């Protein structure tokens, strides 16, 4: 029905699977049973299509994160929230995440689109920076190198887009809980944070097929 969405959906899949550079407009059209030219009625250019997807992805992540952070003051809680949400987004929306994390280099250097995405990314990372800074300032965290810690934790979270499978051993909630534990250990926090992951706050990426993470693997009901 919504052709524009179908295009974004197929594009996202192809970009995630083969990479932007390796994906041709022709193959995208073929995947949609369209013609080359047909695509161009809904899309300005291949690069604009990528930029659109990345922008929407970043905005969705930041917005969702802000929704989840609402009302939280405690640095440990905020860190736990950041870890959980970033993990959940990467686990549930692996295609969007892989494109967001890996295709920045495909946007023309110096283009406004590229600068915009970078700005959005910085905006998001601000949440991590401030949570860590506050934690250190308040004496709740003990960190040798803030940048190192942040990047290491973020790597751990984003890594899930590469390997998380909804039908794997662990529930998404278990993964998040585990990562939160690791994260708090990394900042030497003594806090005990039990996150309840509110999935309704996660971004809704209409172009990515929805995966229900609440379906625990068979025979392994969440405790």
Partner DNA sequence: TATGAATGAGGATTCATTCAT
Partner DNA sequence: TATGAATGAATCCTCATTCAT
- Catalog residues that contact DNA under the rule CB under 7 A: 3, 23-27, 34-42, 45-47
Per CB under 8 A, does 84 bind a second copy? no
Per CB under 8 A, does 170 bind a second copy? yes
Q: How far is the CB of 29 from a second copy (least distance, A)?
A: 14
Q: Look at residue 178 and give the partner it binds from DNA, a second copy, none, a contact being a CB closer than 5 to 8 Å depending on partner kind.
A: a second copy
| Stretch binding a second copy (CB under 8 A), from 51-59, 143-151, 190-198, 202-210 | 143-151
Q: How far is the CB of 138 from a second copy (least distance, A)?
A: 21
Residue 34 or residue 143: which is nearer to DNA going by CB?
34
Per CB under 8 A, does 141 bind a second copy? no
In whole angstroms, give the CA distance from residue 184 to residue 191: 7
Q: By CB under 8 A, name the one of 158, 180, 197, 213 that touches a second copy.
A: 158
Q: How far is the CB of 36 from a second copy (least distance, A)?
A: 11
| Stretch binding a second copy (CB under 8 A), from 50-58, 66-74, 138-146, 197-205 | 138-146
Residue 63 or residue 162: which is nearer to a second copy going by CB?
162
Q: Look at residue 40 and give the partner it binds from a second copy, DNA, none, a contact being a CB closer than 5 to 8 Å depending on partner kind.
A: DNA
Q: Look at residue 148 and give the partner it binds from DNA, a second copy, none, a contact being a CB closer than 5 to 8 Å depending on partner kind.
A: a second copy
Name residues whose C-beta falls within 8 Å of residue 61's C-beta, 6 or more positions apart in sequence. 85, 86, 89, 100, 124, 203
Residue 147 or residue 214: which is nearer to a second copy going by CB?
147
In whole angstroms, give the CA distance from residue 7 to residue 36: 12
SS3 assignment for the chain: CCHHHHHHHHHHHHHHHHCCCCCCHHHHHHHCCCCHHHHCCCCCCHHHHHHHHHHHHHHHHHHHHHHHHCCCCCHHHHHHHHHHHHHHHHHHCHHHHHHHHHCHHHCCCCCHHHHHHHHHHHHHHHHHHHHHHHHHHCCCCCCCCHHHHHHHHHHHHHHHHHHCCCCCCCCHHHHHHHHHHHHHHHCCCCCCCCCCCCHHHCCCCCCCCCCCCCCCCCCCCCC
Q: How far is the CB of 75 from DNA (least distance, A)?
A: 45
Helix pair angle (75-92, 46-69), 10° resolution: 140
Interface residues toward a second copy, by CB under 8 A? 17-19, 21-22, 102, 105-106, 144-149, 151-156, 158-160, 162-163, 168-170, 174-175, 178-179, 181-182, 185-186
């Amino acid at each position: 029905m919504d052709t524009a969405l179908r295009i974004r959906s197929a594009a996202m899949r192809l970009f995630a699977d083969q990479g932007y550079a390796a994906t041709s407009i022709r193959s995208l059209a073929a995947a949609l049973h369209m013609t080359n030219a047909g695509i161009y009625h809904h899309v300005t250019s291949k690069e604009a299509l990528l930029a659109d997807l990345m922008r929407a992805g970043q905005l969705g992540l930041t917005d969702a994160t802000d929704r989840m952070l609402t009302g939280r003051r405690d640095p440990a809680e905020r860190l736990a929230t950041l870890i959980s949400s970033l993990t959940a987004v990467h686990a549930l929306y692996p295609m969007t995440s892989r494109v967001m994390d890996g295709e920045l280099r495909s946007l023309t250097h110096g283009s406004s689109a590229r600068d915009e995405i970078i700005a959005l990314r910085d905006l998001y990372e601000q949440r991590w920076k401030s949570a860590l800074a506050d934690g250190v300032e308040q004496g709740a965290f003990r960190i040798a190198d803030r940048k190192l810690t942040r990047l290491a934790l973020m790597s751990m979270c984003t890594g899930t887009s590469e390997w998380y499978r909804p039908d794997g051993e662990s529930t998404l909630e278990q993964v998040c809980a585990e990562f939160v534990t690791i994260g708090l250990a990394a900042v030497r926090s003594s806090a005990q944070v039990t996150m309840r992951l509110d999935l309704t706050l996660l971004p809704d990426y209409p172009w990515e097929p929805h995966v229900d993470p609440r379906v625990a693997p068979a025979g392994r009901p969440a405790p």
